[in-house]
Amino acid sequence: GEEASEVEAEAPLSPLPRPRPYSLSGGSFVVKRRAQYSDTLKRTARQAALDKNAEKLGSGTSTAVAVATAAASSEAEEGEAEPRGEYNSAAEIVNDMYEQIMGVRLPERAMYGRRAEALASLTSSRVKEQTKSWIEACGKEYALAFHAREPLLLTTPAPTMLLSLEHLSRVFGLPPDECVQLALRNPSFIGLPHAQLQSTVNAVSEVLDIGLQEAGKVVMKCPGLAVRQPEFPVARRVELLGALLPVSKDKLRQMVRQRPQLLSKSPQSLASFMISVSTTLSMPLFDVSLMIAGM
């Protein structure tokens, strides 16, 4: 009786319907379903947390450099750091409709600030159209994962997401499944024009004197570089970073190649951090800058 109960408990749930394949860079990509949505989302969230922690630690070898890198990385990437905003009850109506269709609710942050304002503007018919479009594009499980990661994507047409996957594949040379995972980790890539994405990689390659493949890895780690490239070019970021750190251009490039996350921070946030460390440790600002530079 106990063995039968164990077998019954371990029996897999009924498989979800297979999504319609879609073409990506000349290949047919079919979403793989290995678990129910809740388990997949948990794994995605855990992996995202691990990725973020790994970025914070950086690759510095000394304690001082590791601390400086982690502190710099604790400043959210530009475009992500924003006030939570006010609660918007109108967004709850959209969330109710979403739950009826998809079976789960959007995350709590979707009910505040700019996200809530955008979602509240959706009509009932629009919510139905959007959810249907996303399910047809990538399957229900991945649609749920994308919307949980960034609720604003519910207001984005699914074809925009598919086109963005094409851009990621072309610019970074990634296979379809890795493009999806990259977009899940960094939904800010979705909606960026191909030219803007490619120009960012080219700029990183030129400024840091590295190959396009390595430059692509930098942009994948720091999507804010691509998002802000039109108004805050990579070259300007490096120039301002060099103004804060007493190192040669060659040393600066080497430092940024090792810890590219420094490029995604505003000069103001780095300067504030340096002042804070100087005050806390009673250390001259010059010495703090040397510590950050790894000298």
Q: Can you spell out the DSSP letters for 147-190?
A: HHH-GGGGGS-HHHHHHHHHHHHHHH---HHHHHHHHHH-GGGT
**For residue 169, what pLDDT is reported?**
96
What span, in angstroms and rounded, lies between the C-alpha atoms of 153 and 21? 21
Residue with the bigger pLDDT between 234 and 286: it is 234
CA distance 229 to 292: 25
Whether residue 61 is predicted with pLDDT greater than 90 in this model: the reply is no
Mean pLDDT for the stretch of residues 126-131? 97
pLDDT at position 59 over 90: no
3-state secondary structure of 87: strand
- pLDDT given for residue 94 in this prediction: 97
Query: What was the pLDDT predicted at 38?
Result: 42
Query: Span 97-126, mean pLDDT?
Result: 96
Residues 193 and 160: their CA atoms lie apart, in Å, by: 10
Sign of torsion over alpha carbons 274, 186, 37, 39:
negative
Ordered by start, the domain boundaries in the chain are: 62-75+157-295, 81-156
220: pLDDT confidence band, cut at 50, 70 and 90? very high
pLDDT level of residue 285 (50, 70, 90 thresholds): confident
Is the pLDDT at 210 greater than 50, yes or no? yes
Confidence band, pLDDT 50/70/90 cuts, at residue 288 = confident
Whether the per-residue pLDDT at 49 is higher than 80: the answer is no
Phi-psi region of 294 (alpha: psi -120 to 50; beta: other; left: phi over 0): left
User: Does residue 291 surpass a pLDDT of 80?
Assistant: yes
CATH number of 62-75+157-295: 1.25.70.10
Model confidence pLDDT, tens digit, residues 246-279: 888 999 999 899 889 889 888 888 888 889 988 9
**pLDDT reported for residue 22:** 42
166-175 mean pLDDT: 96
State how far the Cα of 255 lies from the Cα of 190, in Å rounded to an integer: 29
Residue 25 has a pLDDT of 42
